[in-house]
Amino acid sequence: MKWNWGKSIVLAFVLFCGFISSIVVAAFQQDFDLVSDTYYQDELVYQERIQEHINLAQSGAKVSITQEGRSVVFSFPQEFSGAKGEIHFYHPSRSIFDRSFSISLDENRQQTIFGEELTKGRYKVKLTWTSGGVDYFQEEGIFIR
């Protein structure tokens, strides 16, 4: 059997088609999570989120978010001592790792989220709370080791 240019071109075409087919199959097996399942409704209340962020800026205070090992400690300033709301950990790559916690401050105006409750990785922490009849919102990125 003699090898010629025609056979080489056909072989190259078959290999190229096999490569493209494997890419297509791999692409369809990927799992893509939305930022939110209710993103249309979230967009409708986005102006409220902007106002909550402005309220935080006008207060001049900010919640301190620190890591102690794998645990995350939220320290609220004196102005927010009676805060009620939610802490949401958003994991950008997998929605199954998202977690939400109600704010319940101790006598030092702190709340600790233990690392065992969170998967390792990058998170966007979204705090939404009400204190003194005013709504506030703060967002920060952290990395859980």
State the pLDDT at residue 73.
Answer: 93
**Domain hosting residue 132, numbered range:** 39-144
Q: Which residues, in sequence order, are bridge partners of residue 100?
A: 88
pLDDT tens-digit map of 88-125: 999 888 888 889 999 998 888 899 988 888 888 899 99
Query: Amino acid identity, residue 53?
Result: H
pLDDT tens-digit map of 12-37: 999 999 999 999 999 988 876 666 67
User: What predicted TM-score, i.e. pTM, was given to this entire model?
Assistant: 0.73
pLDDT tens-digit map of 55-88: 999 998 899 999 988 889 999 998 888 889 999 9
Q: Which residues, in sequence order, are bridge partners of residue 65?
A: 74
Distance between CA 112 and CA 108 in Å, rounded? 11
Cβ of 113: how many Cβ atoms within 10 Å?
19
Total count of domains within the chain: 2
State the pLDDT at residue 142.
Answer: 92
The radius of gyration of the chain from alpha carbons, rounded to an integer in Å, stands at 25
What confidence category does residue 54 fall into, taking pLDDT thresholds of 50, 70 and 90? very high
Residues 66 and 119 in one domain: yes
Residues 24 and 51 in one domain: no
**CATH number for the domain harbouring residue 87:** 2.60.40.10
Question: Hey, what are 63's tokens?
Answer: 């919640």
Contacts of 115 (CB under 8 A, 6+ apart): 69, 70, 71, 72, 144
